[in-house]
Structure 1
Amino acid sequence: MQDQFNFDHPPFDTLTAEQRQDLLDQTDIAYFDRGETILRPGQLIDSLHIILKGVVEERHAERNEIYAHYTTDDLFDIRGQFDGECRHSYVALEETLCFVLPTQAFLTLMTDNPDFAAWFQRDLQGRQRTVSSQKNLSEFILTRIDNGNIQPAMVIDGQTSLYQATLLLKTHHLESLIVTHDGSFGMLTGTDLLYGAVLEEKPNTEPVHELASFNLIAVQKGDFLFNALMLMIRHKIERVAVKEQEQLVGILEMTQLLSQFSTHSHVLGLRILRAGSIDELAEAAATLGMLVENLHNNGVRLPFIMKLLASLNEQLMRKAFEFAFPARYHERLALMVLGSEGRGEQILKTDQDNALVLEDGLDAAEILPFAEQFSRYLERLGYPPCPGKVMVNNPEWVHSLSAWQERIRLWVRQNTPHSHMQLAILSEPHFIAGRESLVRQLQKQLLEAVRGQELLLSEFAAQALRFHTPLTFFGDIKQSEQGLDIKRGGIFPIVQGVRALALEQGITENGTLERIRLLTDKGIFEPDFADNLSAALILFWQLRLEQQLARGGDGLSQQIDAARLPRHHRDLLRHALHVVKKLKQQLEFHFQIRDL
């Protein structure tokens, strides 16, 4: 039966041909009857079991607590290979056949094959990284800024004439110059010189510091090109200065990024920025789904995809805001997005979740016609209306700053399921356009209002326990005929639980991964658990995205078919769901939820 050994299953797929043959030469086959105990607590371990057929249950012998089920291609007892002794009972639930690999042979493979060893030595985060690295073909997105992708900075004095600067650009085939004036650095582009000479009719002798922009945006040498791209998109510029600590060493232009990023995300960003009408903006927005699929198929890591998409979605909405709201209102109100968009965790387009904060004295009725136009524009861009009507065309989500602050105080006093939901929606505001200080003041008010509200925070955290973790009594994955709802079973408990802890700790960061990091810094999570929690959330996002792309880019679908997943992905999913279960237990203890 050795010819039935599955070398396609991690970690055995890392073995060389010679190592595979050695494994087969040293492996025996063992048969276990239904109900037979294979390993007992305290038993000395001399072999690793790999299941060929059947089901094995791991349980605590005294408490009769069930830890997990193992089936075809699963391994046990891995811990015992290193400890030398078994801690739990392993019982065959049905007739079971196992490959039995001597522990010494297993340890030899660990020594001789680092990739094989890494699989066993890493936890969920490490195993997921090993799986994903097999298709991570796009490390280009992690390219560092270095001398190979920047152009040297030519620095000129601010008193240099317009004529001399233009001659330097032409002679040295440059697109821009760095200008020094009164101890500051500024950027001067060929476009600046053209506008100065033609539109403003500046004389050739005019000093160039009059034309340069001294609001210089800079990145550090050694940073990721990806981060430079984000800065260019966010600030609507096509070049940034590059510094090595405080010293200016070069300029990075969008043209350099053209040769580095094959996904054309930079082109999409420029199309959004240059769109002159809602129709042009809609044409750009229509390519977002293809961009996501392209990045995903090229193995780009999901957090980077999310960061890029959050930036592009922000640019789309900001542009739509500029089209919908007259300029006279831009400094009198603030547009904010909420929910997954507010956390920067939306990948494919889902429904609209947004609101407006008005300066005190600005009448909401005056704004609503433009808000209605904005909502229609977003629908034109592919963002469907929110079923719960959390949108700026709903007067319930358009208020002055003082009115919002009063509503927050009211929701805290009410302490009802409805008020909890409203607070949750508003707890992750991300500024898009208008006057940013209005959103910052609103967020500050919310954090101050919930500080010290132990009962409210406990009931808030209890929402993370609302949905059953999709694991069977025996610790296996459980799903209905419709599939496994990955949002209810995995994503929501992590997001909501971490949200409750972040509110308790006064953390202003919206993103769940960043919140986990900050909570770990504060000692709320153990580092190892935090790593597993972050890896579990990324896995859930990844599996959901793959299912959504398979359904034609349906960003609203939350169902995955676990039965169709490759076995190593099911193994990761099962492990990740156990991490969710552990988080729920921690929330129960931390907030004393059982005592409510």
Structure 2
Amino acid sequence: MQDQFNFAHPPFDTLTPEQRQDLLDQTDIAYFARGETLLEPGQLVDCLYIILKGVVEERHTERGEVFAQYTTDDLFDIRGQFDGECRHGYVALEETLCFVLPTQAFLTLMTDNPDFAAWFQQDLKGRQQTTAPRKNLSEFILTRIDNSNIQPAMVIDGQTSILQATRLLKTHHLESLIVAHDGSFGMLTGTDLLYGAVLDALPAGEPVHVLASFNLVSVQKGDFLFNALMLMVQHKIERVAVKEGEQLAGILEMTQLLSQFSTHSQVLGLRILRAETIDELAEAAATLGMLVENLHNNGVRLPFIMKLLASLNGQLMRKAFEFAFPPELHDRLALMVLGSEGRCEQVLKTDQDNALVLDNDLAPGEVRPYAEQFSRHLERLGYPPCPGRVMVNNPDWVRRLDDWQHCLTGWVRRNTPDSHMQLAIIADPHFIAGRESLVRRFQKHLLAAVKGRELLLSEFAAQALRFHTPLTFFGDIKQSDKGLDIKRGGIFPVVQGVRALALEQGVTETNTLERIRLLTDLRIFEPEQADNLSAALTLFWQLRLEQQLARGGDGLSQRLDPARLPRHQRDLLRHALHVVKKFKQKLEVHFQIRSL
């Protein structure tokens, strides 16, 4: 029967062939009848149980409290392997067969195999990383900038003539030069020289500092190539300077990234930046789904995918904004996105969630035709209209700054379910285009309005408790014919609860993972709880994305079937849902929700 031991199940998949044979040599088979006690509280633990068949329940003997149920491939009592004695009772709920591994053999495997040990010693975050696929592209995305992927930077004096600089580019086969002038460094490209000489008809002896761009964007040597790509996309440039400390170390060109990245994300970024019509922009937007699937299938971690997609979606919307709104209005209003887009947590396209903040001397009626055109542009790019009409073509979401501030104050003071919903919508504003200071002032007023409003924040946080965590009384994943709604059961409680804590603490960051990090710095979370909460949320996103991709890229699908998940993913999901349950308990205590 030992040939039925499942070595494909973590953490036993980390064992070498020799270690697997040693495990089999030292493992016995034990039978337990229904209702039989396997372990009692306080009993010395001298073995680890791995269930071959049956169900075992972990319970508090005196209080009758049930902690968990274990079935095929589950193992227990892990804590007892390190503590030496059992804290709870374990009872067979049906006829059960277990592999029994002596504790000493288990500890020997822990010593001899670091990966095996890590699975037991780490929490949810560590286990999730241990079971994540290891793919070449994922490793490459995390490649750092070094001498192998940058070119030397040739620095010239700003008084160098156009003719001399052109000869230097040709002689040394360079695409760009660094210009030093008046204590600053600037970038000079072959295109700059061409435009200066031909279009501006500058004489060959003209100094090059008049052509160089001194708004130099730089990265540090040792940073990730991925981050350099993000800067190029965000700043609409094709090269960045590389520094080592304060010293210039070289130049990183987009062409070098093009030659190294095996996805087409950088090409897509360039297509968005260079689009001259909404049709060209739509052609670029249509490939976003393929990009997501490509990155996911190649093992790139979801937070990196989210970061890239947030940047590309921002570029798409910024370009659509430029197409829709005349240039003379760009400095008189600000476009902001809300919801998951505002938190930079949207991967596949969902419906539009956006608003406009206008300068106080700009009437909403003046921008209405352009706002309606912008909404049509977004629909053309694949963003369907919002069912709740949270869009700039709805006058309710286009207001002067003073009117927005008055509106925010009213929502806070009313403290009703409707006002809570409105506050939840606008609590995650992210600037896209126009004048950024308008969004900053909007957010500053919101945070000031809710500061000290304990009753409001308590009722706002209580929304995170609206949906039941899909766990059974015995601590297992609750089954349903309709599947598990991962948004209601896992994502929403974390996002809403963290959002309430962020509003309470005046945190301006809108991304949930960043909010958790900042709240940990403020000692609202213990580091271990923060790691587990972040890992749980990332797992929910990951499982949802896999389900959506399996359904043809349906960005609105929120349900998954736990029975179809691999065993290790079900284990992670169960653990993650327990993390959510504990987080809800923290919210109840922190905001005194039970006393309401």
Q: Under TM normalisation by the shorter chain, which class is it?
A: over 0.9
Distance in 1, matches of 2:272 and 2:210, equals 30
- Alignment pair present for 1:82 and 2:82: yes
Distance in 1, matches of 2:576 and 2:386, equals 30
- Alignment pair present for 1:64 and 2:57: no
Distance in 1, matches of 2:245 and 2:24, equals 56
Tell me the residue number matched to 1:101. 101
Gaps of 5+ in 1: none
1:461 and 1:591 in contact (8 A); partners too? yes
1:372 and 1:392 in contact (8 A); partners too? yes
Tell me the residue number matched to 1:440. 440
Task: Output aligned runs, 1:133-172, within 5 Å.
Answer: 133-135=133-135, 137-172=137-172
Distance in 1, matches of 2:537 and 2:288, equals 23
Task: Output aligned runs, 1:500-539, within 5 Å.
Answer: 500-539=500-539
Task: Output aligned runs, 1:462-541, within 5 Å.
Answer: 462-541=462-541
Distance in 2, matches of 1:538 and 1:512, equals 10
1:45 and 1:86 in contact (8 A); partners too? yes
- Alignment pair present for 1:14 and 2:14: yes
TM value normalised by structure 1:
0.99
Q: CA deviation at 1:135?
A: 4.6
Q: CA deviation at 1:109?
A: 1.1
Q: CA deviation at 1:467?
A: 0.3
Distance in 1, matches of 2:15 and 2:219, equals 43
Distance in 2, matches of 1:564 and 1:112, equals 34
Q: Which amino acid aligns with 2:177?
A: L
SS at match of 1:29: strand
Tell me the residue number matched to 1:227. 227
2:263 and 2:294 in contact (8 A); partners too? yes
- Deviation by residue 1:497-539 (Cα, 9 ceiling, x = unmatched): 0000000000000100011011111111111111000000000
- Deviation by residue 1:242-294 (Cα, 9 ceiling, x = unmatched): 11111111111101111221101100000000001000000000000000000
Tell me the residue number matched to 2:573. 573
1:136 and 1:301 in contact (8 A); partners too? no
Distance in 2, matches of 1:319 and 1:488, equals 34
Tell me the residue number matched to 1:381. 381
Task: Output aligned runs, 1:165-180, within 5 Å.
Answer: 165-180=165-180
Distance in 2, matches of 1:319 and 1:137, equals 29
2:176 and 2:189 in contact (8 A); partners too? yes
Q: Which amino acid aligns with 2:314?
A: E
Q: Which amino acid aligns with 1:111?
A: T
TM value normalised by structure 2:
0.99
Distance in 2, matches of 1:559 and 1:223, equals 38
1:355 and 1:398 in contact (8 A); partners too? yes
The 1:590–1:145 alpha-carbon spacing in structure 2 relative to 1, beyond 3 Å, is same
Distance in 2, matches of 1:390 and 1:34, equals 57
Distance in 1, matches of 2:476 and 2:290, equals 35
Tell me the residue number matched to 1:238. 238
Task: Output aligned runs, 1:107-122, within 5 Å.
Answer: 107-122=107-122
Distance in 2, matches of 1:531 and 1:297, equals 25
Distance in 2, matches of 1:97 and 1:249, equals 64
1:151 and 1:251 in contact (8 A); partners too? yes
2:137 and 2:262 in contact (8 A); partners too? no
Tell me the residue number matched to 1:555. 555
Q: Which amino acid aligns with 1:297?
A: N
2:33 and 2:95 in contact (8 A); partners too? yes
2:451 and 2:506 in contact (8 A); partners too? yes
SS at match of 2:141: helix
Q: CA deviation at 1:137?
A: 4.6
Q: Which amino acid aligns with 2:432?
A: I
Shifted more, 546-555 versus 257-266: the winner is 257-266
- Deviation by residue 1:364-389 (Cα, 9 ceiling, x = unmatched): 11111111111111011010111111
1:136 and 1:300 in contact (8 A); partners too? no
Task: Output aligned runs, 1:36-55, within 5 Å.
Answer: 36-55=36-55
- Deviation by residue 1:11-51 (Cα, 9 ceiling, x = unmatched): 11111222111111111111111111111110000110000
Tell me the residue number matched to 2:334. 334
2:306 and 2:345 in contact (8 A); partners too? yes
Tell me the residue number matched to 2:424. 424
Distance in 2, matches of 1:263 and 1:35, equals 56
Gaps of 5+ in 2: none
1:124 and 1:576 in contact (8 A); partners too? yes
Distance in 2, matches of 1:112 and 1:220, equals 39
Distance in 2, matches of 1:101 and 1:134, equals 29
SS at match of 2:149: coil
Distance in 1, matches of 2:537 and 2:199, equals 53
Q: Which amino acid aligns with 2:442?
A: L
2:150 and 2:252 in contact (8 A); partners too? yes
- Alignment pair present for 1:24 and 2:24: yes
SS at match of 2:132: helix
Distance in 2, matches of 1:62 and 1:245, equals 62
Q: CA deviation at 1:151?
A: 0.7
CA RMSD of superposed structures (Å): 0.8
Q: CA deviation at 1:233?
A: 0.4
Q: CA deviation at 1:136?
A: 6.4
- Deviation by residue 1:525-583 (Cα, 9 ceiling, x = unmatched): 11111100000000000000000000000000000111100000000000000000000
Q: Which amino acid aligns with 1:351?
A: D
SS at match of 1:138: helix
Q: CA deviation at 1:115?
A: 1.2
Distance in 2, matches of 1:137 and 1:276, equals 32
- Alignment pair present for 1:590 and 2:590: yes
Q: Which amino acid aligns with 1:259?
A: S
Q: Which amino acid aligns with 1:156?
A: I
Question: In percent, how many aligned pairs have the same letter?
Answer: 83
Distance in 2, matches of 1:521 and 1:61, equals 39
SS at match of 2:349: coil
Distance in 1, matches of 2:14 and 2:112, equals 11
Distance in 1, matches of 2:407 and 2:51, equals 58
2:34 and 2:93 in contact (8 A); partners too? yes
- Deviation by residue 1:33-73 (Cα, 9 ceiling, x = unmatched): 11111111100001100001111111122222211110000
Q: Aligned residues, how many?
A: 596
- Deviation by residue 1:67-110 (Cα, 9 ceiling, x = unmatched): 11100000000010111100011111111111111111111111
2:51 and 2:99 in contact (8 A); partners too? yes
Distance in 1, matches of 2:480 and 2:353, equals 29
1:483 and 1:560 in contact (8 A); partners too? yes
Distance in 1, matches of 2:453 and 2:191, equals 56
The 1:35–1:135 alpha-carbon spacing in structure 2 relative to 1, beyond 3 Å, is farther
1:351 and 1:386 in contact (8 A); partners too? yes
The 1:136–1:96 alpha-carbon spacing in structure 2 relative to 1, beyond 3 Å, is farther
Distance in 2, matches of 1:293 and 1:135, equals 14
Q: Which amino acid aligns with 1:20?
A: R
Task: Output aligned runs, 1:260-271, within 5 Å.
Answer: 260-271=260-271
Distance in 1, matches of 2:516 and 2:24, equals 44
Q: CA deviation at 1:489?
A: 0.3
